[in-house]
Amino acid sequence: MTILVIGATGRVGRHVVDQLVKRNAKVRAFTRDASKADFPAGVEVAEGDLLDLDALRAAFNGVRTLFLLNAVTGDEFTQAIITLNIAREAGVERVVYQSVFDADGAVNVPHFAVKSGAERMLARMGFSATILRPSYFIDNEVMVRDVIVNHGVYPMPIGSKGVAMVDARDIAELAAIELIRRDQAPGKLPIETINVVGPDTLTGPDVAAIWSDILGRPIAYGGDDPTGFEQNMATFMPQWTAYEMRLMAERYVSDGMIPDDGDVERLTQILGRPLHGYRDFAAALVKA
């Protein structure tokens, strides 16, 4: 049977597709624009929007297992709930859903609250699901590389509690492992929630120190006030999105994203290798 990957062209989704292909899975990638999709040979492409019910129903034809990753949009919750309803209508109950770390705690951050609602639907409506809850993406640092290198400031207001930043490649490989496990299971598996974190829990000053070491010159931490961060985000994204990013940053400062005991060990055991760390990613970003 086929595994449907929704969110297949994003930072995580494209790696999920690659990891599934490496494991000889039959993959169908759902994308808004097939002409812009660059998938490995053998990947079937379904084109459409998550609010286009005809396209969505067609995409689920012959599917047994779903990977669902919704983009952060104003109608993310509608997209998620409709997609899960169409999955249920199609008889698809095996799901790997990408949520977010502390989805049910950060209730004032829209894309956290949305994912908490989708998690509740998965539980209450009888899905067999793995819920992945990744922390802050290391890959986000691509957006601030030039500020760090050219202005000597690490600008992300992540605070002093600590954030266990995770590499998108680790999220994707874990998703592929769970998709294969659920797809090949002889029967229905219970819901399982996994915190997906990085190997190191870092504060803002910690990250600035790593960049200082890599670049060989002082890099300052920009501080915990998210005002400048929001203003900068608003120069290249909608104002509501920039405000949502501010709310997320405030949660980093107030609560951090700190793994539970055993999270790192659990992920290392599932993946069969060490997790990707921040320093190596940053060093590669400088070389690139």
Name the stretches of the chain with pLDDT < 50: none
* Count of domains observed in the chain: 1
pLDDT at 35: 82
For residue 214, being part of any structural domain is answered with no
3 state SS of 278: helix
For residue 70, being part of any structural domain is answered with yes
Domain extent, residue 14, equals 2-137+166-196
Rounded to the nearest 5 degrees, what angle is found at the Cα of 283, between the Cα atoms of 282 and 288?
Answer: 95
pLDDT at 33: 86
For residue 227, being part of any structural domain is answered with no
For residues 206 and 191, what is the distance between their CA atoms, to the nearest angstrom?
36
For residue 269, being part of any structural domain is answered with no
For residue 273, being part of any structural domain is answered with no
pLDDT at 244: 94
Q: How many CA atoms lie within 13 A of 207 on its CB side?
A: 30
Beta bridge partners of 5: 29, 67
DSSP secondary structure code for residue 92 in this structure: -
| Span 119-173, pLDDT tens digits | 999 999 999 999 999 999 999 999 999 999 999 999 999 999 999 999 999 999 9
For residue 92, being part of any structural domain is answered with yes
What CATH number has the domain bearing residue 92? 3.40.50.720
CA-CA distances (angstroms) from residue 162 to 86, 104, 144?
A: 39, 19, 19
For residues 114 and 100, what is the distance between their CA atoms, to the nearest angstrom?
10
For residue 115, being part of any structural domain is answered with yes
For residue 264, being part of any structural domain is answered with no
